Structure 1
């Protein structure tokens, strides 16, 4: 089993080059218009969440917390982000599909959409038109405005497929990308069978909302507040409370400096729960290749 200790620090790494993340392939930006389908969908889910106090039970809250970790840390942070978007580790293909499926259950979009958008973010970080959730447009745009004003250059499959051609070629990923939202139906039925409507409301609706906003805080809060270990060319920050909510993703300045690194936390206090899951997979012999920090990363730290 080989472990790669090299870091590809530039955002235009091999998988992003394959995704054509250069300004020359971008189309002119379109006029901003509300996507009323998205407004209605996210508005309706948030309204349903208002009923949560009437369905409260500790069992349901426990289910919500477990699924928040499973879908958030294992599915989104490990599967969609570190594995598929940056290829910072390599696992057997069945394991990769399984991790992607867990990510799809988070209801944050299909794997090709998520990965394609994230590679655009790294390829054009802070660019008002080409970065889907550029923080230069303001906090609320980078948090969720980019979804409510969904621009076709970021949401049209013909566009975002170009930034994730490695996934777009795979029929399994195309299936997940098309039907990810339908996966909530068997999940909802399983939650109902396990604990009735309280588990549906808390484990389904509340979990989805909390996980949405946790993930979006990395786009918004972690580009506004926090400290910097490295003098990166963008507004990324390390934000401790965002890292706790997102299982390590809040060490965002570290990540933007070394985007292909499988470990987001570098100092001892930068707790990275998702890294614990990667280590667990590694001990089980399921990690075939991993990108680790260079031994001299401390020499690059910002001098205070």
Structure 2
């Protein structure tokens, strides 16, 4: 990443967070402002990023009718987390090297790195053309997604202009800045907190966890250990109490015949990966971290893993 791109990312994120602080100005808060933010967060976050970018485009957990897929992908670009090509390539690379050298946002480099710092580092946040060709060749072959790679940021300014004309600065603050901050941290907590906090149901070669409050913020994405165990699954909340709002949307779309080829892990697959007891849970998680686990099987850590080298460019 060039110095301009590196600092441009930092300035951009800082400006968005500062803009969101304007929501505390009493004159810029009405109930209609909150409604606008909620609707746009739903369209861009739930339908755009969580459902389309992640479960449809990245993992092919289900198939949407093409017009619906394209519409939801367009919504996703307004979340300003990157176009589908770069988002999908980055996430597929994460799964290929989860919590190891090569993972763009490995938790082994610490919470802050996994949460946001990775966005500023060379050859990490922005996949190269070769990486896109390697990790997202299916999307690159589609002219629609190649086009979206160039229009995401301009679309955000168009949306801001429409919001200003319809509701003044209050709608811009809530419909753009507050919405983006919520969307960013909901996604970032999946990369950070859902690799540190919570419980593990399945044996995986990473540190992914099931974290209920991340699942609440990210509409089901916080059941992250389930997801890393079965990346192909359209459903992340696999137990009765693991509420997965995005999965409800999958079922609704399937019922409306707008989605098909919904993929789920069998009960046999789930049993094979499930932990037999607490001792194996603690030992396996500690082994993934490189820690020493207490002999009582509680999973408490007594030593920290050696972290891979961090890029400073």
Q: TM-score, normalised by structure 2?
A: 0.83
- In the alignment, which residue of structure 1 is the partner of 2:228? 256
Q: Secondary structure at the match of 1:200?
A: helix
Q: Distance in 1 between matches of 2:97 and 2:176?
A: 34
- In the alignment, which residue of structure 2 is the partner of 1:219? 191
- In the alignment, which residue of structure 1 is the partner of 2:13? 42
Match of 1:51 among 19, 22, 38: 22
Task: Report if aligned partners of 1:74, 1:99 keep a CA contact under 8 Å in 2.
Answer: yes
User: Could you say which structure has the greater relative contact order, defined with CA pairs below 8 angstroms and 6 or more residues apart?
Assistant: 1
Q: 1:140 to 1:34 in 2, by over 3 A?
A: farther
* Residues 58-114 of structure 1: per-residue CA shift (max 9 Å, x gap): 111121122222211111010000000000101222221111111111111000000
- In the alignment, which residue of structure 1 is the partner of 2:107? 135
- CA RMSD, Structure 1 to Structure 2 (Å): 1.9
Q: TM-score, normalised by structure 1?
A: 0.85
Q: Distance in 1 between matches of 2:276 and 2:65?
A: 41
Question: How many residues get paired?
Answer: 273
Task: Report if aligned partners of 2:6, 2:120 keep a CA contact under 8 Å in 1.
Answer: yes
Match of 1:266 among 234, 238, 249: 238
Q: Distance in 2 between matches of 1:185 and 1:167?
A: 25
Match of 1:62 among 35, 41, 47: 35
* Residues 96-149 of structure 1: per-residue CA shift (max 9 Å, x gap): 111111111111100000000000000111123x11111111100010101122
Q: Distance in 2 between matches of 1:297 and 1:196?
A: 53
- In the alignment, which residue of structure 2 is the partner of 1:182? 154
- In the alignment, which residue of structure 1 is the partner of 2:129? 158
Runs of 4+ in 1 over 3 A off after TM superposition: 30-34
Task: Report if aligned partners of 2:90, 2:127 keep a CA contact under 8 Å in 1.
Answer: no
The answer to whether 1:123 aligns with 2:112 is no
